[in-house]
Amino acid sequence: MTRVGKEYVSKRPTFRRPVHMLLRASYSHHYRRMPPDLMDILDFRSNNEVYHPVIRAVQSVKDYVCSGW
């Protein structure tokens, strides 16, 4: 039984790694399509002058993402 257990443990990562990488790649491609849609929906505003550089940066990212580059 110990030999079978060691064999299972030694072979498990070789199966697990490709499956993990496949699932990870699948989800990363799915979420990569979401920012343009979110940028179209969300509108960022602030009355605080301190946050205006951040708002301008977000607007620049929004322009870049929505330009279809």
Alpha helices per DSSP H over the chain: 2-32, 34-41, 52-66
Look up the domain containing 54 and give its range. 35-69
Same domain for 27 and 49?
no
Domains of the chain: total:
2
Same domain for 19 and 49?
no
Same domain for 49 and 67?
yes
On whether the CB atoms of residues 65 and 35 are closer than 8 A, the answer is yes
Map residue 51 onto helix, strand or coil: helix
pLDDT digits (tens, 9 = 90+) for 1-47: 566 556 665 555 555 566 667 667 766 666 677 777 787 888 888 99
Average pLDDT, the chain: 75
Instruction: Give 52's pLDDT tier (boundaries 50, 70, 90).
Output: very high
- What is the structure's pLDDT at 55? 93
